[in-house]
Structure 1
Amino acid sequence: MPETNPILQSLYARKSVRVFEEKAIPAGMKQAILEAAAQAPSAGCQQLYTILDITDPALKAALADSCDHQPFIAKAPLVLVFCADCRKWYDAYKEAGCTPRTPGVGDLMLAVTDTAIAAQNAVVAAESFGIGSCYIGDIMENCDTQRSLLHLPDYVFPAVMLVFGWPTQQQKDRPKPQRCAMEHIVHENGYRTMDGAELRDTFGYKASTSGFDAWCTAFHNRKYDSGFAREMSRSVAEYLEQYK
């Protein structure tokens, strides 16, 4: 790591935490995390998101089940769902006497960007207190269930779920996964399609002793072509039906 300041040190050190101590997050810290999220940059300062603070233990347990059966979600002292919200401005325009068009996919993508930035602000704020976090992408699956659990109206999409808590010592000591080399991540002035040799170089460090082909095939089957990945695509496509 190059010479850094405390903010950069925190960004380099941060890793996902999935096991938490049985210890509450003080109310003042929780409020600071939420307020830090709201300080994030957003398109036209519209803040195209709504944050759901999940405090009901039964609802946490239901989300743990609907989000790919991950019990640690229910044990987290702080659970937040960040929703890309195209609804509130649509309703505000109607309240003002406008005749707004219905939200489109461009509006949704802008809202998802706003939402993800706000969520990452919350992660950085939590890290500053020593509070660990984990993104839960599975909130985009099982749309009918999530809509019912979270009372989501049309034009509100659960883009990001985050769980927070105090990491156990084992989680603190766990090595952070290695990142790809920068020459494969940063393309100058335009996108560069990588050939097979560069792709093998890009991801080869992940293969360890198994070899690139065997590792990549196993990862494809476990992640990209998994049942949960297919369900996520189906579920997101159903959300997108509202925006046609």
Structure 2
Amino acid sequence: MNEIIKSLYNRKSMRVYEEKPIPEEMKEVILEAAAQAPSAGCQQLYTILDITDEKLKEALSETCDHQPFIAKAPMVLVFCADCKKWYDTYLEAGCSPRKPGMGDLMLAVTDTAIAAQNAVVAAESFGIGSCYIGDIMENCEEQRRLLQLPEYVFPAVMLVFGWPTEQQKKRTKPLRFDQKHIVHENTYRSMDGEELRQMFADRCGQKSFEEWTEAFCNRKYDSDFSREMTRSVEEYLKQFL
């Protein structure tokens, strides 16, 4: 197994960091690695916000589901799906472009996520841990105010980076589903109840399938933060409709 594949297998979310800064030259490499990601038509439909203001980091740690470790992270990046800069460019060139729509947003979100993962892989190569923060999609009105987000710009991905503590390094990586449940050949295959139960067998532990799934549903899918994320994203989407 080569070093890149080994890194991908070993990487896990790190949420506790040493009080140690990330050297500026490493940060620049991570940001440049993000920009080297493939993108649709080489448009790079994203803008990366480098959050260096400590008060802003503190505010984001609250608006992103009250997670104090965000404020303590030495590097915080918000990857925005950006449909504005190309639209503005077309207007500047005297074009008569249609307004950005849902397809443009989906393409931009894809570009953004790929760039973010490049940053994660680059950081991992230095021994710098990272954690994705999906909660950046919540609290649309407040995030827009804090980050001064204009129309057609959507905060798709937030990442925090830092030097992980020994405890974090030794923490067991959560299990992934077996490949036979993830990879379908040629066409989508709906799984029946038996296969779904088989897929989750390693995750349920001592609980029954029903007990584990109900607890997870209540904690995640039907949680207040999940409902808020759905409301917030719907609010962002209005500008693209």
What is the match of residue 171 of structure 1?
A: 168
Q: Which amino acid aligns with 1:154?
A: E
Post-superposition, which runs of at least 4 consecutive aligned residues in structure 1 deviate over 2 A?
none
Q: Give me the TM-score of the superposition, normalised by structure 2.
A: 1.00
- Mapped to 2, the partners of 1:167 and 1:67 lie a distance apart of 21
Counterpart CA distance in 1 for 2:121 and 2:197 is 32
Check if 1:94 corresponds to 2:91.
Answer: yes
Residue 119 (structure 2) pairs with residue 145 (structure 1): no
What is the letter of the counterpart of residue 67 of structure 1? C
Q: Which residue does the alignment assign to 1:197?
A: 194
1:84 corresponding residue in structure 2: 81
TM-score normalised to the size of structure 1? Answer: 0.98
Instruction: Give runs of aligned pairs for residues 13-28 of structure 1, distance below 5 A.
Output: 13-28=10-25
1:203 Cα deviation from its structure 2 partner: 1.3
- Counterpart in the other structure of 2:122: 125
Aligned residue among 215, 220, 225 for 2:222 = 225
In structure 2, the residue matched to 1:207 is: 204
Deviation track 1:7-44 (CA, whole Å, cap 9, x = no partner) reads 00000000000000000000000000000000000000
Question: C-alpha distance in 1, partners of 2:156/2:238?
Answer: 16
Q: Residue type of the partner of 2:57?
A: K
**Residue 207 (structure 1) shift:** 0.4
Counterparts of 1:38-117 in structure 2 under 5 Å? 38-117=35-114
Which residue identity is paired with 2:153?
Answer: V
Unaligned runs of 5+ in 2: none
CA distance in 1, matches of 2:150, 2:200: 41
Identity of aligned residues (%): 74
Which residue identity is paired with 1:12? Y
Cα shift at 1:204: 1.7
CA displacement at 1:228 relative to structure 2: 0.3
* Corresponding residue for residue 155 of structure 1: 152
Paired residue type of 2:130: S
Amino acid of the residue matched to residue 172 of structure 1? K
Deviation at 1:192, TM superposition (A): 0.3
Q: 1:31 pairs with 12, 28, 33, which one?
A: 28
